[in-house]
Amino acid sequence: MQTFTELTSLSACEAVDKLKRGEISPLELIDAVEQRVAQVDPTVNALPTRCFERARDHARRLLAKPIAERGMLAGLPLPIKDLTDVAGVRTTYGSPIYKDHVPNESDIVVKTIERQGGVVFAKSAVPEFGAGGNTFNEVFGTTLNPWDRSRSASGSSGGAAVALATGMAWVAHGNDMGGSLRNPASFCGVVGLRPSPGRVARNPGVLVDSLLGVEGPMARTIADTALLFDAMCGENPADPLSLPRLGEHFLDAARQPQRPTRIAFSADLGITPVDPEVAAICRRAVERLAATGVVVEETHPDLSEAHDVFQTLRALQYAASHAQKLRDFPDLLKPEMIWNVKKGQELRADEIIEAHAKRAELIARTVAFFETFELLLTPATIVAPFPVEERYVEECAGQSFGSYIDWLAIAYAVTLTTAPALSMPCGFTSAGLPVGLQVIARPRDEMRLLSHAAFIEAELQAALAQPMNPR
């Protein structure tokens, strides 16, 4: 019998292999992670809602099936982000408006994961409605960075990233509009993958054809991330953007690392200030790749219009999704939400049309760029983890930001291109805080992305192989 520490220290791939060989059961993993959560979460506040009995009921139903019929995850427990509905489990969206909300039906992405043998045991912490790159809300309080609990875990998948880093999860679900998978992965030293739109089916929301938000996986390594990604993918008729599964597995790509031939590096994409130490750490990582024979050119596609385009399209989505909340509960929304909804309500038709037209140009330029380069590498975020009491980054490298989302430009510019991108660990600051490298590939080319990222991971040797205890 393995101890709970031994079980929670397994990689996700190791745990699933053991599940499929019958060496451990999903119930043992649930017991192990419950003990780890009790030990660690009071110090970081990453998993405020737990549903262990629901998880055990699901695990018992899986155990009644032959092992070969238990899905890709075979009973692996995982948390679902608190922006995403799980039937019968308190789901607050980080808002006091929904502090007692218990949905009757799960989101499409949850149903997909559960059909593939994922066992939901908790909801991970988020900022209110996912707005802002710092995980705090009026329902559950603040989530703390395990590398330094005086620092932010970023967001909006902050609880998921902290749970992974501290061994309270083997894999975790998240979603991403302006970097919500990539930023917390960078701040917490784990991997977060934003897939191409449509790769993972989900409840589409009010704007059914929006390409901004996607669902994606997080884990401590590239292979573990690919494992969950395989389980999340697939089409669903209720999501008109969803794509069919490929004939290949993303995990196979991650297990076959390939050195890229020609890559591009940009410290700032030409659109944002970057903390000099963060830029230097990412540049050193790229230099290590160049030393293996990879041809590196310092360049990037023209994304100069990204700020105006993202601000407009995001505001449109916030107005469509949250205007009624502003009408009905103005005193229960945080100031950043109110600003974003009002901005969307004030948009003119010509502004929206222009934003869509410019976005089409951004996508075309990006696709053309990847005819020359296999990857584009940048810092995943422009700063190291900042003091948790700061709501967001107001200034970087001497430049002040005009809104609470401007500091996220190096991530949201990539969102606009529809290119898949992941954040992976690449080093530490002099203060011992993680820095993430953003790795971007051609739209819909997650296979290449994961294979090359696995090569980079092996060369940099920066992956968080074992969970850490909060500091």
Catalytic residues: 81, 156, 180
C-alpha distances in angstroms, 249 versus 119, 171, 234, 332, 442? Answer: 21, 17, 12, 44, 18
How far apart (Å, rounded) are the C-alpha atoms in residues 441 and 148? 32
Query: In whole angstroms, what separates CA 372 from the centre of its chain?
Result: 27
How does DSSP assign 335-366, residue by residue?
HHHHHHHHHHHT--HHHHHHHHHHHHHHHHHH
- Whole-angstrom distance, CA of residue 310 vs CA of residue 288: 33
Identity of the residue numbered 201: A
What Å distances lie between residue 149 and 42, 86, 460, CA to CA?
Answer: 12, 29, 26
What SS3 string covers 280-300? HHHHHHHHHHHCCCCEEEECC
What b/e sequence results for 159-173 when a residue is b if at least 16 CB atoms lie within 10 Å of its CB, and e otherwise? Answer: bbbbbbbbbbbbbbb
Q: Which residue from 176, 76, 82 is spatially nearest to 122, judged by alpha carbons?
A: 82
- Is residue 305 left, alpha or beta, with left meaning phi > 0 and alpha meaning psi from -120 to 50? alpha
One-letter amino acid identity for 365? Answer: R
Helix (H) or strand (E) segment spanning residue 428: strand 421-428
Task: Identify the DSSP state of 195.
Answer: P
